[in-house]
Amino acid sequence: MNGWMGWLTALVTLVVAAGLMGACEKEPAQTAPIKLGLVLPYSAVYASLGEDITQGLELALAEVDNQAAGRPFEVLKQDSQVNPKVGLQVTNKFIQQDKVDFLIGPVASHVALAMRKAAHDSQTFLIIANAAADQLTRELCSPYIFRTSFSAWQPYYPMAEWMAKTENIRKVALLAPNYAAGKQAMAAFKEGFLPHGGEVTSEQYPALGESDFQPYLSKVIQGSPDAVFVFFSGADAVKFVKQWAQSGLNRTLPLYASGFLVEGSMLRAQGQDAIGIKNSLHWSDTLDNPVNRRFVAAYKARFGEKPSLFSMQGYDTGRLIIAALEATGGDTTDKARLQRALETVTIESPRGPFKLSKAHNPVQNIYVREVVNGPDGPENRIIALAAENLEDPGTGCPML
Ligand code: PHB
């Protein structure tokens, strides 16, 4: 090679190398695992809900071979114990030590309210897979907080209207656990019920994790209501429905509820005691659409049981994260880009129509369901649509 050719070769090599380096700088190949920090109850009153959300999420991840945009998922789990202090502790650990890309959870509203500031201030995405506290997608909404479940208002407001208008219920006794979700649930119920001439004969708040509901049931009867409306979930739901049947009230007084009362393993434990309970929710395993049929079959095949609402919310949480990561090519460093992706990607949810509002809360149908005997035991059959594409008002959220 003469000197001239040598110089040219060296120059071409340099240019190509520089080009490659430039390309690397622009598109840093992100291959590190995407860390998901699950803050869920694996003990206490809502333990079964935490298990169901985890299984639903696992199914969504398994469907994509546990990776998105070439990055594998790493799932870290911590038990929130349905305790706000513990929830905040494990959230801080996930943010500071593990440096998770997404926090997932929690189940309970008071735990979510305790975690909110840590997630927001550290700009860590929190995908709420159940907790309902209205503020989280109203005045305390955040660019980093998304909800795949529901706001406390959503299942109650339209159900109360439906009960007044369609079932002609005028006098109702209310019961719910004594914490944020219980209080907000009953407030939303009254908002829908009172304008239709409804009257509340008693309003009682047993402790979360209550074991004896009999004193509360005695007070219910004193007001001579037309019906009783309750919110209980997890272990509380099983105990309440059993004690309701033991008291004999199931033969004389109609019981209405949000559908958490009679979901999944709770319904399996209640058995025949749950028959006839009319309830509201944004999904049922009997909902007849192709996405839901596929989801229910895949879940049954993997876990040997039917999914619950909580499994479905865990599944959609996984699907939302996967879709957003695919949209950003797996880039988790550009928070604004990832936020936009979470806001704009579409996922086909087993619940039917699903999109996120500007406040990051699902816009979704609310179904009225009734527990009836199906081919393999009690199930929730859909009997009416309480609200179509219902959007939480999002009052006070600066992102609206
Ligand atoms: C809540 O605390 O927000 C909560 C818990 C259990 C449910 C629904 C809402 O089933």
Alpha carbon nearest to ligand 1 atom 7, residue = 233
pTM, two decimal places: 0.93
How far is 279 from 229, CA to CA, in rounded Å? 9
* Rounded distance from Cα 30 to ligand 1 centre (Å): 36
Alpha carbon nearest to ligand 1 atom 2, residue = 108
- Full 3-state SS string of 177-237: CCCHHHHHHHHHHHHHHHHHCCEEEEEECCCCCCCCCHHHHHHHHHCCCCEEEECCCHHHH
Determine the pLDDT at residue 393: 98
* Rounded distance from Cα 283 to ligand 1 centre (Å): 15
pLDDT in tens, 232-244: 999 999 999 999 9
Determine the pLDDT at residue 28: 53
Amino acid identity at 164: A
Alpha carbon nearest to ligand 1 atom 5, residue = 108
Question: Which residues does a 6 A CB cutoff place in the pocket of ligand 1?
Answer: 46, 107-109, 130-132, 181, 233, 260
How far is 365 from 387, CA to CA, in rounded Å? 6
Determine the pLDDT at residue 30: 81
Determine the pLDDT at residue 335: 98
* Mean pLDDT per 10-residue segment, the chain (400 residues): 51 46 50 98 98 99 98 98 98 98 99 99 98 98 99 98 98 98 99 98 98 98 98 98 98 98 98 98 98 98 98 99 98 98 98 98 98 97 98 98
Alpha carbon nearest to ligand 1 atom 1, residue = 108
Best residue for ligand 1 mutational test, from 48, 83, 130 (most atoms within 8 Å of Cβ): 130
Best residue for ligand 1 mutational test, from 39, 40, 45, 46 (most atoms within 8 Å of Cβ): 46
